[in-house]
Structure 1
Amino acid sequence: MIMETSILKQRGSVMLESLIAILIFSMGILALVALLGASVKDTTNAKYRADASLLANQVIGEMWTGDKTNATLVANYGTASGAQFVAWKGRVIQALPGIIDAVVAPPVAGQNLPTIAVDANNMVTVTVFWQAPGESGRHNYVAVTRLHE
């Protein structure tokens, strides 16, 4: 009689232990999936930053190999209508997300257009913007160099 009562009290305990084990295992799997998602997002952000760095350094390299007089640099790169700037801006728009190329004067917020500033001492500041899909804020990469004639 005592044996029967003990068995009745134990009924279902294996099932309960199994369900708890499955729950713990499932939580671990969900944590791994979340970690993988964060890893993919970070990898994507790193790719965009590397692309922005490449594009900024590429245009600086073009400036180094061309005519480095201040007037030429300002005409070709320091204005929105300069031929080399327009070609480079096209490459930036193709490579990075979240850039809207619209003919608007002056540029409006949200376009994320790249900029190149050339001062009187040939100090060049290249700024590249992008906005990753699904994000509300924009990112930027800035490269500054001085070109000697």
Structure 2
Amino acid sequence: MNQPIRRALRRQHGVMLLEALIGILIFSVGILAMVGMQAAAFSASADAKSRSEAAAFANQIISEIWMAVDRTSDATLITSLNNFQLNTGGSDCAFSGGMADASNTVLSNWVSEVTDSSTGLLGATASMQQIAVSTADLNRVTVTVCWKAPQDARSRKHQVISYVY
């Protein structure tokens, strides 16, 4: 009777070790999954931060345009609005043309804020920002704010349209 018990015990040698290794493997996979989820959440949080900053910059320049335009007559309003145009040529965040009025300090300060490496948008350059004015279309002002984070394959953009009266 002792013989069958010994034979059964001999077959069981190492099974406990195998169970422990499988348990460690399952635990490790769970930990790695949690780390992956944390990384994805951090990336999504950084993207949301960039989008909210872009929206704030677009709203800031629209507010400043509203405050700075000369409304003494329709002609001065049109001239004043046109002085806020920036990089009217190009497309898809690769704009060209520069500032319509180089002496426009409101516009140059805004571009400096957006492109500042410490407080602005990540990867934003002056040629990636656009302000297009269409006085023929009810004084429509279209602000396009672009940026490109290091992990992005292409530029991201936020566009706001406003009408200035």
TM-score range, shorter chain: 0.7 to 0.9
- Give the TM-score taking structure 2 as reference length: 0.79
- Same amino acid, percent of matched pairs: 32
Q: What letter corresponds to residue 157 of structure 2 in structure 1?
A: N
Question: CA separation in 2, counterparts of 1:65 and 1:59?
Answer: 10
Per-residue CA deviations over 1:17-51 (Å, capped at 9, x if unaligned) read 01001100100000000000000000000000000
Question: CA separation in 2, counterparts of 1:100 and 1:127?
Answer: 12
Note the residue ranges of structure 1 that are not aligned, 5 or more in a row.
102-110
1:100 to partner: Cα distance: 3.5
Note the residue ranges of structure 2 that are not aligned, 5 or more in a row.
71-76, 87-98
Match of 2:154 in 1: 137
The alignment status of 1:70 with 2:78, answered yes or no, reads yes
Residues paired across the two proteins, number: 137
Question: CA separation in 2, counterparts of 1:115 and 1:86?
Answer: 12
Question: CA separation in 2, counterparts of 1:119 and 1:90?
Answer: 24
Contact 2:125 2:147 in 1 (8 A): no
Please give the root-mean-square deviation of Cα atoms over the aligned residues, in Å: 1.3
Question: Quick one: which of 116, 123, 129 aligns to 2:131?
Answer: 116
- Give the TM-score taking structure 1 as reference length: 0.87
The alignment status of 1:98 with 2:123, answered yes or no, reads yes
Q: 1:78-97 alignment to 2 at 5 Å?
A: 78-79=85-86, 80=99, 81=102, 82-94=104-116, 95-97=120-122
